[in-house]
Amino acid sequence: MLDWLKPYHIVWTTQSAHAGESMPCGGHDIGLNVWVENGELLFYIDRSGSFDENHQMLKLGRVRARLEPNPFGAGGTFRQELNLSEGCIDLAGACGGVSAALRVWVEVERPVIHLDVTSSQPLALEVCYENWRTQDHPLSQAERMACLSFLGTDPQKIPLFTYADTFAPASDGITWYHRNRNDDLVFDKEVTQQHLDSVRGQLWNPQRDYTFGGRLSGAGLTYGGRREGQYQVTPFTAWVFRSAQPASAHSVEIALHAAQAAETADWLAGLREVELAGAGLSVEARWQRSRDWWAAFWERSWIVLQPQNPDPADRVWQSGRNYQLFRYLMGCNAAGRYPTKFNGGLWTYDPHLVLPKYTMATPDFRQWGGGSFTAQNQRLLYWPLLRSGDFDLFAAQFDLYRNGLANAELRTQVYWGHAGACFTEHPEVFGLPIGDIYQHLWGGGGVQPRPNGEPGWLDNQWVEDEYDTVLEFCLMILECERYAGQDIRGYLALIESCLAFFDQHYRWERLRRKGAELDENGRLELFPSTACETYKRATNSITTVAALRALLERPAGSPGEERRAAWQALLATIPELPKVEKDGHVLFAPAESWERRSNIEFPQLYPLFPYGLTGLDRPDYEVALNTWRYGAEIPEQRWNICWHQDPIFCARLGLAEEAADLTSARMADAPTRFPAFWGVGHDWIPDLDHPGAGGVAMQEMLMQTSGREIRLLPAWPKNWDVSFRLHAPYQTVVEGEYRGGQMVSLRVTPPERALDVIFK
């Protein structure tokens, strides 16, 4: 059934030089970097939500396995395959008359990792659990990029430590965990820093008593003691386990658990429950359930480019393959409590292999933080999920905001005395802004005087006044209802609170500055606002205006008629999209006015994407087209990497040639060994907003929707053959094949929606 997917499996026939040549594997909410080096199988373990006291995202260690006699020895044959169809990595080796097959996989129904070995003759297995957090590690200034709240802070003024894990080896396995110290949490430091001590007891604190770790075990394993070593630049301790006797089959399980637990014993009991949850099923039955899940995942959507001519050297074919690899990486966090991180996801590795300057940092390091979520980047991981029908993956991202809602509302009340949730561009998982953007280079952890005397102001040149990015996720929530008929009632309080903030806050701001809540036309004056991180101290930023209009102009059906009147009343107060004339062309403007420019984004086209207020055969199309052609103030605003949206803009404008060039460049193989580990020169490896934007562009080239209209091939090049299955609004699936410049098959489900399909 998945024959189209098999050419996209990644196969290596030589071993890797280091972790930077690893291959991703995962499931549930776990990511593994898997590679074979010098005849040994190794993999890093990461899990969504493994946040320590400083909000670093810590790995859960590394596993090393070796067989004797060694089928992966020098001079033998070797094969490593990322089996996308079944969601696993298969390895095979033969050397000196000995052959073996290994499989690494993760259950989809519970957080358990499996290593299964079968061999042509009895082999001895040695498996080591390795960890570098055996003692407290002081964080240098450079390492603080991994805990973004403390970016650039002075270690002498604010000492920070990555605290040691706890290890409990036993005769047949090892249990380890990291338990956050309640006396040194970033939550408590930021509450004080952000002048919220008066409401500390009312704030939700997910860091307190948070404990995460796991247990490695295996039938027939015996404890062989500890050894010390160094991998790349990082010393580690290994706990060694060996098979009691050689066998032709070995099985190792690693169960993971994370929870807020009042006592360590409670956490250990929870870990035991994870292990016992699979006791009623054989390993084979659990493997079959995982295979079934991945099969269903791949059946619900695909884009296959050049299917009749699969040439791995062809950049167009690579784009189709790498689109699937990005989907795979997102699917590995299907059960996550926290979103997939844009800056490395679950697959970071030794940082000096990314940038040599980080020789002091451990494998836990990533740029741009762990427990903070940069909205401008995060959104591009999740927009493609609408068209691919991966609606089950949205919950972690939406819940990030819903869980922090009460804290964001309380923050608003304390600072400004009005209602509404104020979420910033860089929220912590508990809804407050990260320390670095609240007060850049904050002092010794106590209450510091604010530069302008206002406790709610953000002291950061990049994200000062940037509150509107949450509205993009609110729009995604409404789109999930429109696409899949999802019940979003549990998120309506979040959406309404975010809208209330913009209504009440900018009334409050204008009243204190000018003595009236609304301007002479009865409209809100959105000052101070910002167009992305670029146009600062702006009035009526185009990103804020477009976001509010996109939410409030929803078609009947959502958010429900009981809210319709209130939303229409608020819509009447929203300013028009700002425009400007330049060299005889009318363009979208970043804002009505602004005081400075700080970054190189292109917010002028946000009405086109993500907010969909204009497009082909829609109002202001010529304005959008002119903006693309003439609106950039500096060349760098047109930049086809990372979080930039250039290929999406071209697709929505129907510019097939430009969209094809930009998208194939965006989605072509990364320079790393694994072709979808983009990020050299971007935010980190793998940079997942980079393929996220490319994936959206590919989808928009194939299909665009407005109301009930489904427009096919609006920006598709005639020389790109494609087979596709995409999801459209109103629980619609469109499946087709385009070959030789002609549509050779088309199926729309339900059939009556075929009447809404147009080619134009």
CATH architecture of 6-300: Distorted Sandwich (2.70)
Residue 26's pLDDT is 98
Is there a contact between 200 and 190 (Cβ–Cβ < 8 Å)? no
Instruction: Encode burial over 705-741: b for 16+ CB neighbours within 10 A, e otherwise.
Output: beeeebbbbbbbbeebbbbbbbbbbbebbbebbbeee
Place of tokens 């078609």: 555
Distance CA 216, CA 251 (A): 11
Three-state SS letters, 333-399: CCCCCCCCCCECCCCCCCHHHCCHHHCCCCCCCCCCCCCECCHHHHHHHHCHHHHHCCHHHCHHHHH
Element (H, E) at 162: strand 161-162
How confident is the model at residue 445, as a pLDDT? 53
Q: Which residues contact 263 (CB under 8 A, 6 or more apart)?
A: none
Return d(Cα 415, Cα 694) in angstroms, integer. 40
What integer pLDDT is reported at residue 557 of this predicted model? 57
Amino acid 444: pLDDT: 59
Distance between CA 386 and CA 480 in Å, rounded?
7
Which pLDDT score is estimated for 559? 61
pLDDT value of residue 450: 73
d(CA 67, CA 100): 9
Alpha-carbon span 564 to 558, nearest angstrom? 8
Closest CA to 201 of 211, 210, 191: 191
All residue ranges of the chain with pLDDT < 70 are 1, 443-448, 555-561
pLDDT reported for residue 440: 79
> What pLDDT shows up at residue 640?
87
Distance (Å, rounded) from C-alpha 462 to C-alpha 455?
18
User: What are the tokens at 294?
Assistant: 């991945």
Q: Return all residues near 251 (Cβ < 8 A) that are at least 6 apart.
A: 114, 115, 116, 117, 218, 219, 283
Which residues 6+ apart lie within 8 Å of 411 measured at CB?
194, 196, 422, 431, 432, 456
- Tell me if residue 469 falls in helix, strand or coil: helix
